[in-house]
Structure 1
Amino acid sequence: MNYEGQICRGPMERASFMLPVEVGCAYNRCKFCTLFKHLKFRELSMDQIEEELKRVSRINGNPKTVFLGDGNAFGLSTETLLKIGEKIHFYFPGCQSIHMDATVTDISRKSDTELHQLYDAGVRHLYLGIESGLDDVLAFMNKDHTLEQAYYEIDRMKAAGLVFDAHFMTGIAGKGRGIENAEHTAEFFNRTQPYRMINFSMFLHERAPLYQEIRKGRFHPADERENLTEERRLLELLKPWEHEAIYDGFHDMIEFRVRGVLPRDREEMIAKLDDRIAKEMPGLLAYVG
């Protein structure tokens, strides 16, 4: 299958087989995102999806994990997702788990019965773009949920057996609000306890709608030193949960990355951040233009 657009999936899915089921993102209104702005959203036909499954099966492909792309595959109808799941298990009998990105609103559109049906069909990990623990930030960034809605829908998906994984962004609250955002985001995660956390620290291109907010003076970006300090405070505040959690944090502007398993690697990650913070000069903004 010819893949359209930029591949977007968490680093924990690097060993999964990525099966495109749509082009672009059905929501596509987040101010900070440029991944899908150049694409016209459309669902791929079941024939296209099946042809890709056949192609991989013919070369003896039988992955244990399949990741459905692109932007928010969980937004597809339950009927469509169940059909895709049936075909995956037919062509890949060794498949044990189906993962994909989702929005809080995607979950809200599915009943408890549908969530259980999807679990029975092999759907497991859902990656939600939580982004921030502050409601005013979520509203400004055009996210499709409030924190209370996120709490409610995450409780529903977990009750059905689905696993909550989180995307979030240090720097998203803007200059001077890093510690505040870290504390509220940590509070959110301590309550919801994701199994995987991916921090795509704020990195903007001039094509992002948020870039225009910067030019108009409506958003003041934090520098990378503040983003690093925010990440450190977040890791410091995350409590031991019922399970270990994989953490992966990216700072693309300075090519810095911190990752590990919480709580086991917390002190090592904080020490790495302390070392980088000590070297980082204030003023390097995490955007280009």
Structure 2
Amino acid sequence: MIDDLYNYPLYRPPSEAYSLIIQITLGCSHNKCTFCNMYKGKQFTIKPFEKVKSEIDFFRSQIKHIDKIFLADGDALIMRTESLIKILKYINLKFPEVKRISLYASPRSILLKTEKELEEIRNLGVSLVYMGLESGDNETLKEINKGATAEEITEAALKMKKIGFQLSVTVIAGILGNKDSTNHAVNTGKVISKIIPDYLGILCLVVHPETDIDIQCKKGEFVEASGDQIMEEIKLMIENINIPDNEKIIFRSNHASNYLNLKGNFPEDKDRLLDDINYAISNDYIRQRNEQYLKYSKKGF
């Protein structure tokens, strides 16, 4: 069975729901962010080409047609360029019909590669890259142990856009808990304005077991932000996203973690998105949403 080939847990972005996932690495090359437990149980490993090749062969024998392929795990771009190119060439040989190859990339993995190397990777079909910004504020990035500064993240993002990759970026609201998040929100909006990613997603912090933030919570050193605090934070982020009229960012804030589903494009929908947030806050929507969530969670839904 196909599932027998995967090393779990297995993660992919929501937009890769119908993609073939090929694990070319296991785990995350950084794996030190205070909020993340996705790969805590895995030692980062780059899989040998022959193993990846045999898995690609098996997938081809089982799948008649596939449009999209996602290369897992957490930072597939970190592998040596010649190794990644070898895999991509074999994917193109076995799946000539594929229209898009995508992967997660860290700022570090991007900055380690030359523009020429990235151009080769782009020319072999990798057209979409997912990168976690989390915050555009250096103090916040240091606190969450992101392993990169806002300047490095910006440099990495602009490098990918220059070469022609589509870029999907995520940020996290509530990452500082109930502390003052003004700098986090304002500077995140400003960095997004510099990067102008093709796609932007705002997630809300979920405290996962066995993370550093979970440990801090249990010690009373971290207190989660309220729903209203998070909505004010998202509002401030959006207020500080300012891009030219001839540019476009497809924006979504509709993950299960979000208090309010938001959807639109920058810059044309900015005012409407702010109106939606103001309406939700002024009409006590967040409190009602929390009460409804608690009601159903107690019933086991």
Q: Same fold (TM over 0.5)?
A: yes
Residue identity in the other structure for 1:281: R
1:214 equivalent in alignment to 2:220 = no
Residue aligning to 1:287: none
Residue identity in the other structure for 1:48: K
CA offset at residue 274 of structure 1? Answer: 3.4
Q: TM-score, normalized by length of structure 2?
A: 0.84
More displaced 10-residue stretch of structure 1: 87-96 or 211-220: 211-220
Distance in 1 of aligned mates of 2:40 and 2:65: 33
Residue aligning to 2:37: 34
CA offset at residue 104 of structure 1? Answer: 0.6
Structure 2, unpaired ranges of 5+:
291-301
Identity %: 24
CA offset at residue 135 of structure 1? Answer: 0.1
CA offset at residue 256 of structure 1? Answer: 4.5
Superposition map of 1:1-289 within 5 A: 1=2, 2=4, 3-241=6-244, 242-250=246-254, 252=256, 256-277=260-281, 278-281=284-287
- Indicate how the Cα distance of structure 1 residues 170 and 238 shifts in structure 2: closer, same or farther if over 3 A, else same: same
Distance in 1 of aligned mates of 2:202 and 2:95: 31
More displaced 10-residue stretch of structure 1: 255-264 or 192-201: 255-264
Superposition RMSD in Å: 2.4
- Indicate how the Cα distance of structure 1 residues 65 and 222 shifts in structure 2: closer, same or farther if over 3 A, else same: same
CA offset at residue 96 of structure 1? Answer: 2.8
1:132/1:173 contact within 8 Å kept: no
Structure 1, unpaired ranges of 5+:
285-289
More displaced 10-residue stretch of structure 1: 44-53 or 259-268: 259-268
More displaced 10-residue stretch of structure 1: 63-72 or 49-58: 49-58
Distance in 2 of aligned mates of 1:260 and 1:251: 14
CA offset at residue 26 of structure 1? Answer: 1.7
Distance in 2 of aligned mates of 1:116 and 1:27: 24
1:126/1:162 contact within 8 Å kept: yes
CA offset at residue 77 of structure 1? Answer: 1.2
More displaced 10-residue stretch of structure 1: 183-192 or 257-266: 257-266
Distance in 2 of aligned mates of 1:215 and 1:179: 25
Residues 119-175 of structure 1, C-alpha deviations (whole Å, 9 max, x = no match):
122222221111001101101111121111122222222222222221210111332
2:69/2:100 contact within 8 Å kept: yes
More displaced 10-residue stretch of structure 1: 85-94 or 251-260: 251-260
Distance in 2 of aligned mates of 1:114 and 1:236: 37
Distance in 1 of aligned mates of 2:278 and 2:54: 50
CA offset at residue 85 of structure 1? Answer: 0.6
Distance in 2 of aligned mates of 1:14 and 1:264: 28
- Indicate how the Cα distance of structure 1 residues 231 and 57 shifts in structure 2: closer, same or farther if over 3 A, else same: same
Residue identity in the other structure for 1:273: I
Distance in 2 of aligned mates of 1:48 and 1:42: 13
Residue identity in the other structure for 2:114: S
Distance in 2 of aligned mates of 1:251 and 1:163: 21
Residues 86-145 of structure 1, C-alpha deviations (whole Å, 9 max, x = no match):
011011101232211111111121112211111122222221111001101101111121
CA offset at residue 280 of structure 1? Answer: 2.1
Distance in 2 of aligned mates of 1:214 and 1:251: 23
Residue identity in the other structure for 1:70: D
Q: Secondary structure at the match of 2:228?
A: helix
1:61/1:92 contact within 8 Å kept: no
The count of residues paired between Structure 1 and Structure 2 equals: 283
Distance in 1 of aligned mates of 2:179 and 2:116: 44
